[in-house]
């Protein structure tokens, strides 16, 4: 398979490649040269956003040092998007913190990964992972 065929194969089979290419609709909240972020179709919490690289990478285990900058960009984007979506972490005048969010990469079957295109979950709201709203 040549590289063009490989690209076509990924686009045909990978739902997040299709989203990145604008082939299927999504609720996009951020796009730049390398990354895209959109609302999860089946949110587990009041805020549930996915950050993906536009380029296809299957899992976190497929990343090496050459991906460090890209992964760093994903991490740095997360709190900005959380802030935009109303679940940013804030320190109040009295020094106590409020708000906040969870970041998560699922990797492989035992990690609960369902979509094999690297993505970071940004999950926010009052303790959403404990089922509280």
Q: Looking only at residues 12 through 71 of this chain, which bind Zn ion when binding is defined by CB under 5 A? A: 14, 16-17, 56
Q: According to the binding rule CB under 5 A, does residue 102 interact with Zn ion?
A: no
Q: Which residues contact 66 (CB under 8 A, 6 or more apart)?
A: none
* Cα 10 versus chain centre, distance: 18
Q: Has 39 been annotated as catalytic?
A: no
Residue of 48, 119, 121, 127 with catalytic role = 119
- State the binding partner of 91 from Zn ion, ligand AMP, none, CB within 5 to 8 A by kind: none
CB 81 within 8 A of CB 30: yes
Min. distance of Cβ 133 from Zn ion in angstroms? 32
Residues in the site for ligand AMP, rule: CB under 6 A? Answer: 15, 26, 38, 40-42, 50, 106, 112-115
Min. distance of Cβ 91 from ligand AMP in angstroms? 30
> Which one-letter DSSP state was computed for residue 94?
T
- State the binding partner of 117 from Zn ion, ligand AMP, none, CB within 5 to 8 A by kind: Zn ion
CA–CA separation, 94 and 68 (whole Å) = 36
Tokens 């991906």 map to which residue? 67
Q: Tell me whether residue 84 or residue 103 sits nearer to ligand AMP (CB atom).
A: 103
Name the site residues for Zn ion (rule: CB under 5 A): 14, 16-17, 56, 117
Residues serving a catalytic function are 119
């Amino acid at each position: 398979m040549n590289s063009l065929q490989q690209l076509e194969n990924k686009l045909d089979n990978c739902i997040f490649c299709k989203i990145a290419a604008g082939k299927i609709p999504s609720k996009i909240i951020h796009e730049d040269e390398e990354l895209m972020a959109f609302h999860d179709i089946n949110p587990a919490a009041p805020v549930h956003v996915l950050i993906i690289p536009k380029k296809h990478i299957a899992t976190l285990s497929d990343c090496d040092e050459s991906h460090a900058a890209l992964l760093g960009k994903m991490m740095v984007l997360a709190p900005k998007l959380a802030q935009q979506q109303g679940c940013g972490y804030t320190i109040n005048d009295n020094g106590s913190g409020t708000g906040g969010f969870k970041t998560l990469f699922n990797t492989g079957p035992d990690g609960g990964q369902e979509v094999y295109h690297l993505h970071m979950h940004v999950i926010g709201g009052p303790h959403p992972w404990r089922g509280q709203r």
